[in-house]
Structure formats: C-alpha cells, structure tokens
Amino acid sequence: MKALINERFQVSPFFCFFLITSAQVGIEMAKFQRNIAERAGYDAWMSIILCGLSIHFIVWMMYRILHIANDDLFYINPFCFGKWCGGVINIFVIVYFLLTALISLRSYIETIQVWMFPLMKTWQISFVLLILIYYIVTGGFRVITGMCFWGLIIAFTCLFPVLLSPLSYVYLDNLLPFFNHPVKDVVLSSKLALPPFLGFECLLLFYPLIKNPERSQIWAQCGILFTSVLYLILTLITFVYFNQEHLKHLIWPVITFLKIVELPFIERFEYIVVSLWCLAVLPRVCLSLWGACRGTKRFLKIKQHFILLFFLIALFILCNVLEEHRQIQQYENLYSNIGFCFVYVYIPLLFVIVHIRQKFRLKK
C-alpha cells in the first residue's frame, strides 16, 4: 500500500518530530498538574518521567509493528485479526480518533468561554473553529504537517519564555520532602499523567506518508522527549508556585499563574496565552480528524470530502451537547481510560500478534 503513495504526498522524516509533538500538545497541558498531585502529592513530578519513559518504549513497539506490516493501522488490523474482526476494530479506532478531536476541541472552547468570552455561545466558537479545521484538513496531509510545524514554532517561541515568568515567585520548599509517597502512588499517578501525552498514536496512521519512514524513529523519539521535558518543567513550576491546598481548587493552574505577567499595553495577558494556544490545539484536532477520515474512506470507499463534512457536523453537534463542565470532565475521564487501554493493552497485543504472524509467514 505504501508503495502506491506518490512521493509528492509524503513528508520528510524530520517532520515526524513536529507531527508527534503537535499531536500531543493541547489545552490538557494547562490542567493535568492538579490531577497527578491528587494521588502522589508533589512527588508526582516523578510520574511524568515514568510516563514519558513508558511511551518511548511504546513508540519503539509501534515502529516495529509498522516496519513489519509496511502499512498503516487500518491494514494491520485485518492482517492480524481477520477481515471481520479487523474491520470492527478499525471502526473502534475511527471512533477513538474522533473522540480525541472532540475532547481537544471542546476543552479548548471551554477555556475560551471561561477566560475570554464568558457570554459567547458554544455554537459560535465551535462554528468558527470548525471552518478553520475544514480548510486545513481539505488541504491534505502536507498542509496539516505545515500547520503542525508553524503552529509549534510560533506557539513555543511566544509562550515558553512567558511560562518561566513565575520563577521569581516560587517557593522551592514545596517540593520537600522528596520520596514522601509510596511507589504505588507514583505509578498510579503516572496513569493520570497520560492524557496530555496522548495523540502520538496518530503515527500508526500517517506512517506510510513519511519518506524513508524507518529513518523517522529518531525524530519521533525526540518529539516524545521534548513533550516529556516540557510537561516536567510545567509540573515543577506549578508545584513550586502553588501549595497543595491551593492547587486543589484550580482547574487551569498554568493559565492561572500566567496572570502575574504584566505588560504596559494589555492588562489581561492570559487573553494572549489562550489565543496563541489555538495554534497548538488545531493541529492536534486536524491530525485526529484526518486519521478518522482516512480510515473511514478505506472502510466505506466514500470520498473523503463527504466523510469530513459528516464528521464536522457530528463534532459541531456534540460540542453543543456538552455544555456543563461536569459533562466535559466525564468525557475526558472516558477518553483517558480508553487511551490507556489503547496505548498499554492494544499496542503491545498488536506487537505480539504481528511478530507471531511474521514468524509463521517465514516458516511457510
């Protein structure tokens, strides 16, 4: 299948760094600190390291699977589980990536409503964002890659220096004493640290669209390392800026501590932060939506343009159904549990089955 893809639709291995990083970085990075601190306290920074290391190993597994099958996930499932079971699993994969797009988009809309425009309706914001998403996705995979590249460069260049601004107000004793919680709590906290890392699974879909894909593994691993270090820095800054009792009452601690930034020409600096975050959220949504459209096209043999329109309408309806924060939180928890099973159960199982199938094929 990969051999049939024209080279002009493919991207260089170097761009795998930006694709992986953009697929992970979203609004979740502004609020996961409170969740991980609930289980392991301020020793939870170790759970970020543990989660990052485990994902490095999962990415290595994914490359082994893709190298053997030499195609994307929608071919691998029928190859491993048979035509009918593989088709059912493909449907679940499509729903999973649609859920990724929905959670990322709705969480960002909620952030806009809370921090910038509390009187704006959900349908107004979602309608504007979905038009942008439609424009990007219809441009094809190379346009999405360009959005990932420039979105990450601009957002990181503008936001990262600002994220270091609270360092003059920190209280390092918040982190003491170290190793104050049992290993079990740190491991369970690493499960809560998984949601901001999710999104790298898109590699299973765009692998055939990378030139010399076996050379892209180093860039994919660098992307995972980049997000791991970024989340670790954000976690440590949050922990030394807020005490544990204060952190329990914050939903977006990263945006909260950025309120201390003062500029002579703007009073509410978080307006700029939330606006620039759009450049990090849109690539994640576009990649997930593109993957769902690609899988549905191979499954139903329908033009991708019509599939995209149907999915956008579905996202628009679902975004407006989820109005309350409690509902959004429930769907985020559901997505976290499904993502945990996808990453730590489904991918290792696929790794084992692909190697078994390859072994029997070589014997024959």
CA neighbor of 234 nearest in space, from 178, 283, 170, 183 = 170
Residue-level pLDDT at 364:
62
Label residue 362 by pLDDT band (50, 70, 90).
Answer: low
Residue 3 pLDDT class (50, 70, 90 cuts): very low
Q: What percent of the chain has pLDDT over 90?
A: 39
Quote the pLDDT of residue 62: 93
Tell me the CB-side half-sphere exposure of residue 74, using CA atoms within 13 A. 22
| Whole-number Å distance between alpha carbons of 78 and 89 | 9
pLDDT of residue 340: 92
Lowest mean pLDDT among 116-120, 176-180, 331-335: 176-180
| pLDDT tens digits along 130-169 | 999 999 999 889 999 999 998 888 877 777 777 777 777 7
Q: What is the phi/psi pair of residue 99, to 5°? A: -65, -35
- pTM for this structure? 0.91
pLDDT of residue 1: 46
The CA distance from 249 to 263, in Å, is 27
Question: Does residue 342 carry a pLDDT above 90?
Answer: yes
Which is more confidently placed, 41 or 158? 41
pLDDT of amino acid 247: 83
Mean pLDDT for 256-269 is 75
CB 14 within 8 A of CB 96: no
pLDDT on residue 145: 92
d(CA 63, CA 350): 12
Report the pLDDT value the prediction gives residue 4, as an integer from 0 to 100: 63
Q: How confident is the model over 174-224, as pLDDT tens digits? A: 777 777 878 888 888 888 889 889 989 999 999 989 988 888 999 999 999
Give the mean pLDDT of 8-24.
90
pLDDT tens digits, one per residue of 46-62: 899 999 999 999 999 99
Segment 64-90 mean pLDDT = 88
For the chain, the average pLDDT equals 87
Residue 11 pairs in a beta bridge with 210
Instruction: Name all domains of the chain by residue range, CATH numbers in brackets.
Output: 10-354 (1.20.1740.10)
Burial class (CB in 10 A: 0-12, 13-18, 19+), 145: buried
Within 10 angstroms of residue 41's Cβ, the number of other Cβ atoms is 16
